[in-house]
């Protein structure tokens, strides 16, 4: 994961270098008399191959959004609840509107995220939000950091390969564990639990793994469990999305379930 740590380190340094507070008030932006950036400015800033980071200051307090800006209007976003260490990952789309707003559309489950917001420059920092639309002059607007990188650096290969331990925690009180082996092409997955008996027919089975998407900020894989034993459907792990920085994420099989990886 050295490349990931390096890129997140650059994001941290970029935040410091853009000597500006983590958030400012709507009044501060309006008093600066700086107009929002133009569509041409935004297309240059959000160039494909960049990585953006934004910390929510309203609604989802403490949520850190990090997303890769891909070609053809595609993106991959990791939405991390820093205080509680939950991470959600989803593909989505982005665009710059003709009137100069940055727009994203993320099909989160159960509620999608869709917005278009202007970007302001205050000093050396960028801020994502619309101070004109708020009735509260003290409304906080968060800082946006965009790190330039290359499309090649977004792709993951050897950093994800190897043996992993995996802990899966459903909404219920009883977590269960597994072993994951990843190669460049795919891998295998086996689940077990220290709570259930060792000969439980629902556990200990080996399944094939397909890598769905592997990028710098996240990796998505699918477990093929076509030969599941009747009555064991609740133990299935299907589509798993992992944040490369925290090695945490969720699997989607009916509802969301927290997942955490550890290198073996």
Domain spans of the chain, in order of start:
2-154, 158-263
Say what the pLDDT of residue 8 is.
Answer: 43
Q: Using a cut of 0.85, tell me whether the model's pTM lies above it.
A: no
Same CATH fold assignment for domains 2-154 and 158-263: yes
CATH classification (class only), 158-263: mainly beta
Within 10 angstroms of residue 87's Cβ, the number of other Cβ atoms is 25
* DSSP SS3 for 91: strand
Say what the pLDDT of residue 90 is.
Answer: 82
Which residues, including other chains, have CB under 8 Å from residue 162's CB and lie 6 or more apart?
Answer: 181, 182, 263, 264
- Percent with pLDDT over 90 in the chain: 20
pLDDT at 126 over 90: yes
* DSSP SS3 for 19: coil
Topology (CATH) of 2-154: Lipocalin (2.40.128)
Say what the pLDDT of residue 256 is.
Answer: 56
On whether the CB atoms of residues 241 and 90 are closer than 8 A, the answer is yes
pLDDT at 229 over 80: no
How does the average pLDDT of the chain come out, rounded? Answer: 76
- Residue 160, beta-bridge partner list: none
Tens-digit pLDDT profile for residues 130-172: 888 777 888 889 999 888 764 444 444 447 888 998 887 765 5
The first and second tokens of residue 3, run together, are 């490349």
What mean pLDDT do residues 82-111 have? 84
* DSSP SS3 for 222: strand
237 or 155, which is more confident: 237
What mean pLDDT do residues 54-74 have? 77
pLDDT at 235 over 70: no
The rounded distance, in Å, linking the Cα atoms of 154 and 193 is: 35
Say what the pLDDT of residue 253 is.
Answer: 56
């Amino acid at each position: 994961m050295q490349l990931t740590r390096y890129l997140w380190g650059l994001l941290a340094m970029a935040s410091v270098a853009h000597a500006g507070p983590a958030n400012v008030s709507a009044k501060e932006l309006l008093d600066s008399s700086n107009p929002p950036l133009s569509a041409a400015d935004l297309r240059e800033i959000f160039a494909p191959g960049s990585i953006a980071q934004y910390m929510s200051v309203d609604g989802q307090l403490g949520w850190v959004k990090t997303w890769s800006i891909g070609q053809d209007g595609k993106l991959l976003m990791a939405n991390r609840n820093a205080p509680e260490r939950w991470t959600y990952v989803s593909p989505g789309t982005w665009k710059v509107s003709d009137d100069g707003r940055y727009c994203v559309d993320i099909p989160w489950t159960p509620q999608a995220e869709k917005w278009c917001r202007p970007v302001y420059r205050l000093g050396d920092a960028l801020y994502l939000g619309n101070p004109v639309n708020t009735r509260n002059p003290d409304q906080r607007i968060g800082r946006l950091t965009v790190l330039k990188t290359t499309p090649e650096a977004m792709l993951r290969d050897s950093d994800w390969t190897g043996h992993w331990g995996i802990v899966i925690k459903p909404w219920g009180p009883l977590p269960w564990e597994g072993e994951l082996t990843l190669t460049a092409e795919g891998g295998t997955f086996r689940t077990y639990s220290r709570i259930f008996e060792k000969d439980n027919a629902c556990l200990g089975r080996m399944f094939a793994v397909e890598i769905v998407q592997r990028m710098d900020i996240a990796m998505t894989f699918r477990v093929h469990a076509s030969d599941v034993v009747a009555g064991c459907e609740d133990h299935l792990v299907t589509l798993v999305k992992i944040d490369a920085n925290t090695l945490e994420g969720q699997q989607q099989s009916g509802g969301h379930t927290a997942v955490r990886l550890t290198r073996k």
